[in-house]
A and B are shown apart, each in its own frame.
Chain A
């Protein structure tokens, strides 16, 4: 029997989807050995209300730490708290996400615990004394299977790679205290500029519509925005080239030096499919490509392709998607 720790990421008092992914994955690991899932949820007063959602996805216990200085992500305080709980709880695996916050947090936690860590994990299982993980290397052109020999093993899941499963558990809330003074951090968030809150993030959206140079201009992205609107559950991404040109912000960049996404549906619009871009989206479940050049490499990894001018195809697709969603 082995209990599993899961970190519940929140922003502005709302759970992020990766929190549920972490709990779902932790549940699978715990069920394989007959253990419990304990989730850690830190935020300002009232965050405990979110425990129920974690229970729905399989948390037996939710460790809740409420403190004003934990309202926003506070790297030093959260790392100290997580390391302390993981150590005292005697967990076999500590499951985090390789989100922007996770990338910052996980190595600190592993360092405090002095244990092995792998990020961007696409699969994990416990095998005897080792935790075996799969982890894409060399921008996804090679897949490594690695063994973490320490207890606990700290892993960061690839965001979007875990399909949420509901598996209701009690979610007993246990209030826990911060470690030290959470206000004493050497790094302080002075300002947070939130994008339009209505917009879904490319890491969380089930559908990602990404545009490239084939859209001709920043204004050309209007076609992509319209299609995303038609879906209603889509986010907009972009290639490095168009971010470098300033058509879209770098936060929307998908690829080797940008974000890695694994949505249910990825629609590449006017994207040729450079290897650096494929690195950021090749694990998407279904890939659609729309491009004028039928020789474009994107068609090699796309499940469905349309050869044609995006200015002609996209409005037609937007109308068809709107129609299809209406009949639901």
Chain B
């Protein structure tokens, strides 16, 4: 089975973000970057399938500046076989543009399965995987938290609001990964050494025109300062009064 995994390099969300002078991007100075968590689980899922089958290839792809190669290396050190870097000065906000560039490259690979994380916390759109599926005319199952493959078919579990869905799908397919599917392995020292010698090809991303652009970034408005109503059960009557008269939610 030939499997591709698309991964994104994202900033650590614990950081204090600053807006650049241009007002439309974030100042990257001092930010720590790593592979998107959902994408790490996607890599893990692909590796587990390959290991279970005892054969196959896992190709990791990432679009972005040269630093995206570090993210690809991380996936290679987890055990993926080779990497493809689609070079772009920056990762556009327009998920359609990203999907178009990835699909153009993925089309060449004739993959049986293509994994994505269900979303990335930075741009928070969660659209690239399913758009790629449409562009390649693959079956698509999003936000999976369970996966079984047998006889060229798959069964996946999805968490819906207040319900669970079990779906059956045919190959080739695009799958996007939710939390709970697995726990991503840490790269071993041996894996890290081996990754340095694994093939990593870099080529320009075919981004095309973007339809969605960031006009401005702003910090969210501060919530009006709250108050400590009191301590212990004695504070309950006053809280209830405030919820009724001030917040009007009770």
Q: Which residues of A line the B interface, CB within 8 A?
A: 11, 75, 79, 99-101, 103-104, 106-108, 110-112, 115-120, 132, 135-150, 186-195, 199, 201-204, 206-207, 250-251, 253, 256-259, 264-265, 275-276, 279, 282, 285-288, 294, 299-309, 312-313, 315-317, 320-321, 324-325
B226 lies within 8 A of A317 (CB):
no
B163 lies within 8 A of A195 (CB):
yes
A115 lies within 8 A of B227 (CB):
no
Report B115-151 residues with CB < 8 Å from chain A CB: 118-119, 121-131, 133-135, 139-143, 145
Report B205-250 residues with CB < 8 Å from chain A CB: 211-220, 223-224, 226-233, 235-237, 239-240, 242-244, 247, 249-250
- Decide if the interface of chain A is mainly helix, strand, loop or mixed: mixed
The 0/1 profile, CB within 8 Å of A marked 1, for residues 5-16 of chain B is 000000101100
The 0/1 profile, CB within 8 Å of A marked 1, for residues 153-180 of chain B is 0010011111111111110010000011
Among B47-55, B60-68, B70-78, B94-102, the stretch that binds chain A is B94-102
Q: Does chain A have a CB within 8 A of B33?
A: no
Q: Does chain A have a CB within 8 A of B44?
A: no
Q: Does chain A have a CB within 8 A of B26?
A: yes
Could you say which residues of chain A place their CB within 8 Å of the CB of B250?
265, 321, 324-325
Given A187-B167, A190-B167, the answer on whether A141 and B13 have CB atoms closer than 8 Å is: yes
* Complex: chain B residue closest to A135, CB-CB: B124
What separation, in Å, do the CA atoms of A286 and B89 have in the docked complex? Answer: 42
Instruction: Give 12 A-B pairs besides A187-B141, A299-B226 with Cβ atoms closer than 8 angstroms.
Output: A116-B212, A118-B125, A137-B123, A138-B13, A141-B220, A142-B217, A190-B168, A251-B160, A287-B226, A299-B228, A300-B226, A313-B235
What separation, in Å, do the CA atoms of A321 and B218 have in the docked complex? Answer: 38
What separation, in Å, do the CA atoms of A309 and B168 have in the docked complex? Answer: 47
Contact with B233, one of A107, A112, A302, A308 (Cβ below 8 angstroms)? A308
A304 lies within 8 A of B13 (CB):
no
Q: Does chain A have a CB within 8 A of B17?
A: yes
| Residue of B141, B163, B168 ringed by the most chain A CB atoms within 10 A | B163
Smallest beta-carbon distance B232→chain A, Å: 4
Could you say which residues of chain A place their CB within 8 Å of the CB of B128?
107
Could you say which residues of chain A place their CB within 8 Å of the CB of B111?
none
Smallest beta-carbon distance B73→chain A, Å: 24
Provide 21 A-B residue pairs closer than 8 Å at the C-beta atoms, listed in order of the A residue: A106-B127, A107-B95, A107-B131, A111-B133, A115-B96, A116-B211, A135-B124, A138-B17, A141-B220, A142-B217, A146-B214, A188-B167, A188-B169, A204-B161, A251-B160, A253-B179, A256-B121, A257-B179, A259-B161, A287-B223, A301-B223
Could you say which residues of chain A place their CB within 8 Å of the CB of B216?
144-145
Given A120-B124, A149-B212, A305-B227, the answer on whether A321 and B240 have CB atoms closer than 8 Å is: yes
* Complex: chain B residue closest to A194, CB-CB: B163
Give the size of the chain B interface in residues (CB under 8 angstroms). Answer: 83
Given A107-B131, A119-B126, A257-B37, the answer on whether A142 and B239 have CB atoms closer than 8 Å is: no
A143 lies within 8 A of B125 (CB):
no
B96 lies within 8 A of A203 (CB):
no
| Residue of B11, B124, B126, B131 ringed by the most chain A CB atoms within 10 A | B124
* Complex: chain B residue closest to A127, CB-CB: B215
B167 lies within 8 A of A264 (CB):
no
Given A301-B223, A304-B229, the answer on whether A288 and B239 have CB atoms closer than 8 Å is: yes
Could you say which residues of chain B place their CB within 8 Å of the CB of A305?
226-229
Could you say which residues of chain B place their CB within 8 Å of the CB of A259?
161
Q: Does chain A have a CB within 8 A of B1?
A: no
